[in-house]
Amino acid sequence: MFKIYSCVFSVPAYNYIVDVNKKFIMLKTMLSKFLGFFEKRLPVLSVGGFIFGISFAHFSFDFEVSVTSVISGVIEYYSYFAPIAIYLILAPALAKILFNSQSDGKGFVAYAVGWLSLRKLAACLWGAVFTALVLGLPMVSSHDNINIVNSIFKVFGSLGWMFLHSTYFYAVYLALISVVLSYRFKTLANFLEKIANVVEAAGPFIVPFIPLFMLAIGAYIYGLPHNLKANLVGGTIGHSLGSLNIIGFGGINANTPVGMISIYLAGAALTGIACLIWHGGLLFLAKMYDKHFSIKNYFINYWSKVYPLLWATSSESIATPLNLHLVHKYFPEVRDEVRRLIVGMGSFLNINGTLICVFVILGVVCNVIGYQLSLLELILCIPVVFIISFGVPGIPGELLLFAGPLSLLLGIPGSMLNAFLALYLGLQIGLPDSFRSGNNSTDNCVLSIMLNKVYEKKFIKK
C-alpha cells in the first residue's frame, strides 16, 4: 500500500520538477540569446546611443541638465562604490593565485607588481615625449625654479596621509587580511572563490546598459560648451590666458568660449591619440610574447565590446566584471588565476592611460597660461607622478591628485597658480577621462596575455 502511494505521489512531483527545470532552461536560453544579441551588435548600438544622447540634449535643455546632474552625482558617490569593488575583485584573485599548489603564486604576484610598475614608468616617459613633440616644446627652458626636493617631500606626505585615511587603501588592507585568514579557514576561501565567480558572471548583464551609458555621455558632452563657459571662461581664473599652439594647427585663443571649448577638445583628442599609440605598441609586444595572438580578433571580439562601457562611464571598477568575462570568453588560453589577478589588480595599479593624460593636460595648460615648459621639466616630473600613481585607484577626475604637487615641482608663479589649477582640474573631466579609462582597462587584457606566458614559463611548478 505504501509503495503504491509513493509511486502515485512521485510521478506528478517528478513531472512538476521536470517541467520547472525545462522552463528554467528555456528562460536561461532566452536570456543568453538576448545578451548575445546585444553583445554582437554592441558597437552599433553604442554609437547609436551616443548620437541619440546628443539629439535629445539638443531638443531638450532639461534633459541635458538632468543628465549632467546624474553624472555629477555618480562621480560624487563613486568613492563609496570603488572600495567595495576593489575588495570584491582583489581578495579572491590574490587568494586563488597565492594558494595554488601547482605554482609559485607569491613569486608571480611580486613579479607582476614590479612588471606593471615598469610599464607605468614607460607610460610616463611616453606621455612626456609625446607632449613635447605635439606642442613643440624645447629640450631645455630657462626656468631655474624647479623644486624637486620639496615637491617629493610633499608627495610622500600626501601618500602617507592616503595610506592612513583613504578608503581605497582600506579595501586593499582588508583584501590582504582576508587572504591571510582564508589560508586558515577553508570556508572563507570558498566564499572568496564564490565572490569571484559572481563578479565574473555579472559581466554579460552589464552589456545591455552600455548604449544607455553612451546616450548619457552624449547628452553630457553636448552640454560641455555651457559648462565650460560658466566654469573656465571669465570666472575666478584671474589671469589673462594665451593661446594653445599645436604643431600644424596654429594657435587657439583661450579667452573666448569657442576657443576654450576647442582647447578642451584638443586636449581630449591628444589624450586619445597618445593612449591609442601606446596601446598599439602593447599589442605588437603581445604578439611577440604570443605568436597565436590575433590583433584583428582582439579589436573585433574584445575591444569593440568593452571600450564603449569604459568610455561612457570613465570607470575601470564598473567595467571590471565585463572585462573579466570578455577576456575569459575570447582569450581562454589565459589562466583564470592570471586573468583575475591582472584584470582585478590592474583596475587601480595599472593606470597607464591616466599617467599619459597627466602629461598631456599639463602641457596644454602650461601652454595656455603662458608658462614655457621643456622636455627636461616633463621628464623631471616623472618620479613625482609615478609615486602619486600608487595612490590613484582609477576614479573619475583623478588628475586632481596630481595638480598641487606638479605646480609645486614646476614652480608655477603665484600670478599663474589659480589659472593653472582651474584649467588643470577643469580640462581633465569628461572626454579625457573617457579616453584614459578606456586605455587603462584594455591594457589589462593585453598585459594578461603577456604575463600568462611569463607565468607558464617561469612560475608553474614542473
Query: pLDDT for 410-452, tens place per residue?
Result: 778 777 777 787 778 777 777 788 888 889 889 999 999 999 9
What pLDDT does residue 357 have?
A: 93
Could you say which DSSP state residue 391 is in? T
Cα–Cα dist 277/274, whole Å: 5
What percent of the chain is predicted at pLDDT more than 70? Answer: 69
Cα–Cα dist 389/17, whole Å: 55
- Among left, alpha and beta (phi > 0; psi -120 to 50; other), residue 430 is left
Cα dihedral 119, 123, 124, 126 in deg (nearest 10):
130
Q: What is the value of pTM for the model shown?
A: 0.72
What is the average pLDDT across 383-394? 73
Do 82 and 314 meet the contact criterion of CB atoms below 8 Å apart? no
3-class SS of residue 43? helix
What pLDDT does residue 128 have?
A: 95
Cα–Cα dist 203/309, whole Å: 11
Mean pLDDT of the chain: 77
3-class SS of residue 9? helix
CA 176 to chain CA centroid, Å, is 22
Helix (H) or strand (E) holding 227: helix 224-231
Q: What is the pLDDT of residues 220-253, one digit of tens each?
A: 767 765 665 555 544 445 556 666 777 766 677 6
pLDDT higher than threshold 90 for residue 362: yes
